[in-house]
Chain A
């Protein structure tokens, strides 16, 4: 067992973990932050995307001990301080960018990372950036539209929902 300390959604946590514990399992099982999901075993689906020190990371690709000392952000910490949805979350609701909701936390976290790197992405930019996030419900149309809307771009020309 190893001791890990990290700041998760602004709160310091210290826990004993096995060396083999993946960050995603640490978040889900040890911290009970079950908004981060596991949809595959091969780091393909992106349902587990979180931010580690501001970078989008698939939480199934790193061990919890590798995040020792890091700042970790998960979907549970994304809403505004007053509890209202943040700009990206609100855009997903406004544009029906989710259906079953299982891939959604990863999509929102990837979208946040994209908009930080590229505040006004084109449609092609968004589609390319989401290469590591699989959604089976939406056909991606409304996800791409929501992310472009969240970036402040006018999406009214994109076919209506």
Chain B
């Protein structure tokens, strides 16, 4: 029976009321007295030498307050990569400087080389057009293989377009090669994980404010992690002391990864605010978002699966080229490596895994973590090649997966890619999936489709991912330059209500509802008396933000620890009030009771006592009731799942329709089923979008052909079906206090291979020897594949 309140209940979201009435506060909604507008001059060529920039006309135009070019930031620091990757030969990755504004060269279409600050947006736009930049166009490096082979470089100073050549696990390379050489069957697949644009519906927006009286700054910005932005600006880019810089992210209209990172526009508005002494605001238009938000995916991969004739896996070997674009975005080097290569054993007991990733600079927008971040790429490669192998060997696609699954009695299980999976039950997930998919019924549905002249396919998939990033000790060894703990402060106010300051920052995930459900249950008080405070570095102890499905597993754990400290202190106060020993005081349902008596005080009475400490044992207990905890996870969490879908393919047009989609997930314990289901839905929408519709396309000159919603196909309501989602029977995470694993990215990880497997199945059912089609599976690509086969 589902609970009606507290942990595990589908509490309705309290934040919805303001979003549904137009009372939300997104960054662009902030109107500040005296605010000015920043407009950027962006390169229209992908690669070129900046010969000169003439700003004189612009500077004299009406309303113009300041003009900046790259020269103004030549002496400040660069925006760094957060993760150092070493190549197979031990050399560190190449780290060219990423400046606030391009200086010397422009390196992708949209690369900003100048900015105008003016009284109004119109004046700024007019002045930006009056800036004359002489840019000598160079051939663009767009194709990764050509970029690696050629002698023209995105960054001349590093003399190569290769950022790193990484092997995982390098010591396993020889054994994997030998196992593949000796294997009775090897299936090979070459595939492209298509480049995507995250497309949060709220475009990025930043407002810089400077207070000359205190020599301090406030940055209001669209960010998934304000503290990281502050840290990067302070420690690397501008040198503003952290205590002089407040970063505030108010309501954030989606992110999906793209708002994790610090961008140059944030530094620019701060510098400009200081220079002119007034607030400076920049709001991206949608085409700027397409050109400059960090993109996702963009891997070109060859994967081999070696197996016995009976389908027992022997080895996975992967060679991938990963596009990092023109500059290293903050997590761009971790995404194709430690968030991808370490997952390349999948859900399987395969003994040999080796992954080689070459990261390549190109004259395209930076590429970084986008919903799933490396795990979708891993899952896609593994689950596509397994499907192909099953077909070659004549083994049922579910049977071949089950044959190789890690079994429930094998946990903790150290995979051949080096991660220690703490819990899971992949066979149970597949059992549940099989109940939902009704394979017998599928045969009848296929016949019905065929009677209409359509083809029907069934696609299957199993996935595992690593979430709750991440244990600082482990990631430190692996090259991370940050820790990945999180923090929370629980402040009990004198009147018994609570403010809970958390380092995670919701941008649609419902933290304001779910976090109070947890604290409320722990304290036995009404969650409505608890408010979450987030997104403001001046109010929160610290935080590493929301991404990597980490908010609940990491920040939620910090919040639990802080609440436990509150209970421990409150017990001492209660014991004093009840004239008992703290050891004799029980706490349940918001009441402190002396064991074996009817003497009790409520949580509210204790809170009041803490702030009005008359007759208080000050030598033993401080007044006040506020506790902070930092939590650093012991391991990643490992959500897993089994997905299926049925598609109908029109053989005359190649159009694919998703008829049904079933997602069975193990997220561990569930705090709010309604919200978890919504997270899966959203991930599925993006994953199905990747599989069928979306793709960022650059032409050979590095022009982004898909830079608006008229060119980039966003999934619309009529592209998608109702989904069946089941996460009822998870195996709890063994190492965090709530037993939670994270659910934000699963849908986007598990769905692309499910769709492609289904389309291949549909075409095979018509006798077409189609073994693979690269995403997105547009009607043209499907039709061409059918007609070539």
Contacts and interface: CB of A to CB of B under 8 A. Distances in A.
A62 interface: no
Contacts of B200: 100, 102, 136
Interface string B504-523: 00011110000000000000
Nearest to A84: B17
B722 A123 contact: yes
Given A37-B253, A45-B709, A101 B24 contact: yes
B19 interface: yes
Interface in B676-725: 677-678, 681-686, 688, 708-710, 714-718, 720, 722-725
B209 interface: no
Contacts of A78: 20-22
A159 B663 CA distance: 12
Given A136-B201, A137-B682, A138-B682, A161 B19 contact: no
B449 interface: no
Interface string B264-278: 000000000000000
Interface string A30-43: 00111111111110
Given A100-B200, A139-B723, A158-B722, A93 B17 contact: yes
A136 B686 contact: yes
B35 to A, nearest CB: 11
B681 A134 contact: no
B717 A127 contact: yes
Contacts of B285: 40-41
A101 B709 contact: no
Most chain A CB within a 10 A radius of its CB, from B25, B28, B287, B722: B722
Nearest to B687: A139
Contact of B253 (A33, A42, A101, A123): A101
Nearest to A40: B286
Contacts of A32: 31
Contacts of A116: none
B15 interface: yes
B253 A142 contact: no
B252 A99 contact: no
Contacts of B13: 93, 96
Most chain B CB within a 10 A radius of its CB, from A41, A79, A127: A41
B606 interface: no
Interface in A96-153: 96, 98-105, 108, 123-124, 126-128, 130-131, 133-145
Nearest to B283: A38
Contacts of A85: 17, 20-21
A136 B747 contact: no
Given A40-B709, A47-B201, A98-B19, A130 B677 contact: no
Report the interface size class on chain B: 35 or more
B254 A102 contact: yes
B693 to A, nearest CB: 12
Contact of A100 (B202, B685, B686, B717): B202
A66 interface: no
Contact of A75 (B22, B199, B688): B22
Contacts of B10: 161
Interface in B56-87: none
B674 A161 contact: yes
Given A35-B22, A35-B24, A85-B20, A100 B508 contact: yes
A101 B16 contact: yes
A94 interface: yes
A3 interface: no
B29 interface: yes
B251 interface: yes
Contacts of B29: 28, 34
Interface string B1-23: 00000000010110111111111
B673 A161 contact: yes
Contacts of A40: 285-286, 708-709
A160 interface: yes
B717 A92 contact: no
Nearest to B200: A136
A83 B714 CA distance: 35
B203 interface: yes
B718 A128 contact: yes
B256 interface: yes
A12 interface: no
Contacts of B724: 159
A41 B708 contact: yes
A44 B12 CA distance: 30
A144 B681 CA distance: 12
A42 B287 CA distance: 9
A86 B282 CA distance: 35
A44 B682 contact: no
Given A32-B31, A37-B253, A99-B510, A135 B201 contact: yes
Contacts of B353: none
B128 to A, nearest CB: 16
Contacts of B684: 139
Contacts of B709: 40, 42, 44-45, 134
B675 interface: yes
A93 B12 contact: yes
Contacts of B675: 96
B21 A159 contact: no
A100 B16 contact: no
Contact of B682 (A75, A99, A126): A99
A105 B95 CA distance: 43
A10 B150 CA distance: 65
Interface in B701-760: 708-710, 714-718, 720, 722-725, 747
Contacts of B507: 100
A131 B717 contact: yes
B16 A131 contact: no
Given A41-B708, A138-B681, A144-B717, 10 more contacts: A33-B22, A40-B709, A94-B12, A99-B510, A104-B20, A135-B201, A135-B717, A139-B688, A158-B722, A159-B722
10 contacts: A34-B25, A35-B21, A44-B714, A100-B507, A102-B202, A133-B717, A140-B717, A159-B723, A161-B10, A161-B678
